[in-house]
Amino acid sequence: MGAYHDFYVRSLTDRDGFWREQASLIEWETPFAEVLDYSRPPFARWFVGGRTNLCHNAVDRHLGARAAQPALIWVSSETGQEQVYDFAALHAEVNCMAASLRAQGVGRGDRVLIYMPMIPQACFAMLACARLGAIHAVVFGGFAAANLASRIDDVAPKVIVSADAGSRNGKVVPYKPLLDEGIELATAKPERVLLVDRGLAPMAHVAGRDLDYAALREQHLGAEVPCVWLESSEPSYVLHTSGTTGKPKGVQRDTGGYAVALAASMKAIFCGRPGDTMFTASDIGWVVGHSYIVYGPLIAGMATVMYEGTPVKPDGGVWWRIAERHKVNIMFSAPTAIRMLKKQDPAYLTQYDLSHLQRVFLAGEPLDEPTAHWINEGIGKPILDNYWQTETGWPILALARGVEPDLPGKYGSPGLPVFGYDVRLVNEATGQDCGANEKGVLAIAGPLPPGCMSTLWRDDERFVKTYWSTVPDRLLYSSFDWGMRDDDGYYFILGRTDDVINVAGHRLGTREIEESLASHPEIAEVAVVGVSDALKGQVAMAFAVVRHAERVATAADCQTLEGELMRLVEHQLGGIARPARIRFVALLPKTRSGKLLRRAIQAICEGRHTGELVTIEDPAALQLIRDAVQAG
């Protein structure tokens, strides 16, 4: 047994001692009285009574030692802009933003919704909320008005911070029309909207509601806003994730536990040191952006690269140019992005000086062995998989080489259970623990470690029912992922057990897409499944039954209706949710009790055998699916 085994075991057998040590990695204004209160399972309160602030730990505490060190490096390959803020400049900008929000009445416990492209002001807004003790709710900038409205209603923000537009692949994406429509659809209207004008798209202001951020910033230049010290369990942010019911779940994160978990993970898993530079190619709309673009690297005293652009524009060397130029030590991305790079000229991998780059981390979806081999051989750096969820906020499975540098990896496996996580594999039907090499549901015995969700926003009952009530006769957190553990204790993730799919690292509820398609007057019934895809990991495939057969009488008719449905989903949910294909069938396969056989549909799409389906109502329905798939 090695150093990591002992480290991990202690994290479970001596929780108080272990997490007291990790808590010393951040600064506390008031010491905590108790490491853990687990008197009301499954609700865990970490570092009880301790008061701290995320913004203080990410920015202020570094001013003494590294005020002139780069903190935020913004690069946009979309607009050709680049800007570097040292810790002193970041501190000044965050104070300007905090003063601007405070002037609109934002204070402790108020919600601020952030609907922004990947620009520095988005980072300033997140840190400013943390500074004020306000709760931020970031909504991915690619989401459509209906998505936005549901999140506005869930958190009832006092203020929304947004911009005129983002840019994707050289195409301007106007945000303001989507924002206006989202507010119009929402019941909980914000009092004020702060707008960053990038000059990318025309933008009309709503009188009495919309404010120009540039003007506000001028008013508050030089402002100093004190950090509001929060009790450790007070919420820091809400981040919505797709649910199987179509209603988004607002994952609620605490303050102290999250700061400690990120500090510990930066040291033990990501091997980050003060003064290093981390380039996480994600978006602040996702949990990776929260944890490892904004908070994690800054808490660790590192510089963080915030990138607006794709991995292949203007060419397949753009990431490596950034890594060379800014002496990047750690990169973090998703397997989909690497698969995109595989289609580019391999010369890009050896064209740039990557001598500072120590390791590349990949997460968000399973990492296939050929992709891992390709990038490892191409750049000659360790490629480290890791597995986690929006709900956990930081890795569940990984290789903690900051604890044991020579910890071996295995292709196809994200690694070993991370310290603090009491990981189990359980039989779906019986709830009993699985043995080695047996497929089971990956679960976690409570308490969840620091940094994980504390509950769902304003819905404790749904938190318990969704996550803690699915394993028979046991109070275990379900990840809703199938997994397997080998004889050496390494875990392998095998896919979802529910109706959530993973498209290029983004989680989408198939039920949401089904509801969108079903809202079209011509659709009588629809099934959406996730299907394996060589580039994106999974894509959504839809099979629909129409009300009037004449609407799909010819190939041209099918194409016309498919186009209408694609535009409908894009309008209601955003382009990210658009299915790869919509095929029309006369009948969908169901059980005799009326339940859709989604797994059988998925198996047909992936060319697998459906198995024996003794409960199927009409076996001819499966042949209709096969015929539709073969017809293309």
Query: How many CB atoms within 10 Å of residue 209?
Result: 14
In the chain, the amino acid numbered 265 is: S
Span 230-281, pLDDT tens digits: 999 999 999 998 765 567 899 999 999 999 999 999 999 999 999 999 999 9
Q: CA 328, CA 322: separation in Å to the nearest integer?
A: 8
Q: Which SS3 state, helix, strand or coil, does residue 16 take?
A: helix
User: Considering the chain, what is the average pLDDT of its residues?
Assistant: 93
Res. 497: pLDDT tops 80: no
What is the Cα–Cα distance from 542 to 565, expressed in whole angstroms?
A: 10
pTM: 0.86
The answer to whether residues 517 and 545 touch, using CB atoms and an 8 Å cutoff, is no
What whole-number distance in Å separates Cα of residue 453 and Cα of residue 558? 44
Architecture of the CATH domain 500-631? 2-Layer Sandwich (3.30)
CA end-to-end span of the chain, whole Å?
53
What is residue 245's predicted lDDT score, i.e. its pLDDT? Answer: 56
Cα–Cα distance for residue pair 136/134, rounded to 1 Å: 6
- Tokens (6 digits) for 556: 């041209």
Best CA proximity match to 119, nearest among 22, 197, 208: 197
**Cα 520 to Cα 68: distance, rounded to the nearest angstrom:** 56
Q: What is the pLDDT of residues 331-367, one digit of tens each?
A: 999 887 888 898 889 999 999 999 999 999 999 877 8
For the record, the structure tokens of 611 come out as 């198995």
* Edge-first strand listing for the sheet containing 476-485: 422-426, 440-445, 476-485, 491-496
Which residue's structure tokens are 């969108």?
516
Kindly report which listed range (132-136, 140-144, 484-488) carries the lowest average pLDDT score: 140-144
Of 198, 126, 214, residue with least CA distance to 166:
198
Shortest CA distance to 160 belongs to which of 204, 112, 105, 108? 112
Strands (E), 351-475: 359-362, 383-385, 397-398, 416-417, 422-426, 440-445, 455-456
Domain ranges, ordered by start, for the chain: 500-631
Name the percent of the chain lying above pLDDT 90: 76
Question: H helices of 439-583, where?
Answer: 460-467, 510-518, 555-573
pLDDT at 598: 82
Task: Read off the pLDDT band of 597 (50, 70, 90).
Answer: confident
Confidence band, pLDDT 50/70/90 cuts, at residue 538: confident
- Please work out, in degrees rounded to the nearest 5, the angle formed at the alpha carbon of residue 587 by the alpha carbons of 584 and 593: 140
Q: 16: how many CB neighbours lie within 10 A of its CB?
A: 10
pLDDT tens across 95-117, in order? 999 999 999 999 999 999 999 99
